[in-house]
Structure 1
């Protein structure tokens, strides 16, 4: 079995109050934990697009720290508090990815801190 590398401390990514790794790298695959619009001073409310933009910023920072480029993200999981916010996040998604990764979207009954969007990703080396 491939050795696992746990990515915990990432510059620019606030520490989670939960006992989690920001990512776990197994072989050529990086599994990035779900991210919210969190800053050093805590969660910040905003539009779904603003929250998603911050969450993706954190996902990309974690990927880079793990040795993966944002264009190596092959799968994204988007959780919404309200699926009606999908169009504005779709617009952001189209801006962020030249070749959009596969993804799953769903509406969650409740996200931590009352967030509107949570982003989780998987990156992979060829």
Structure 2
């Protein structure tokens, strides 16, 4: 994990970039996540293998891989899945929402489920079916 510079201000919060082994690098110039103070902002994750190659599958299969990356990134930054407070899901086909909702209910226990946004995207990188991004906070 690479640590960045201190932000100046009344709270003197640390800001650093999180890059994680085992999470494929993005073809875009982005970080896996950025931690500022008690929040971890996790970049959008797709169904890709460690080599960065897209792995096609059903929406649920792709969501499982994307959430695994999100959880791995959160953990590397010192957060856990239970620290996730917001999830943003982009779907190519909103007909897949019901199936992914069942997975979501398994991943996040009732009473601990993050706030969430769902929307339909015209296109996702690599032709993916779903993209997952998240925010964790302590």
RMSD between aligned residues: 0.8
Q: Report the equivalent of 2:35.
A: 25
What pairs with 1:32-51 in structure 2 (closer than 5 Å)? Answer: 32-41=42-51, 42-51=53-62
CA distance in 2, matches of 1:106, 1:58: 20
**4+ aligned runs moved over 2 Å, structure 1:** none
Give distance in 1, aligned partners of 2:28 and 2:76.
Answer: 20
Structure of higher CA gyration radius? 2
Distance 1:22 1:60 in 2: 11
Q: Distance in 1 between matches of 2:50 and 2:107?
A: 23
Per-residue displacement from partner, 1:67-104 (whole Å, max 9, x unpaired)?
00110000000000000100110000000001210000
How far, CA to CA, are the matches of 1:40 and 1:61 in structure 2? 12
2:102 pairs with 1:83: no
* Aligned with 1:70 (options 81, 97, 107): 81
Structure 1 gaps of 5+ residues are: none
Uncovered stretches (5+) of structure 2, i.e. residues with no partner: 1-8
Deviation (angstroms), 1:15 = 1.5
1 or 2, which has the higher strand percentage? 1
| Aligned mates of 2:103, 2:87 — CA distance in 1 | 13
Count of aligned positions = 124
Distance in structure 2 (CA, Å) of the matches to 1:18 and 1:75: 23
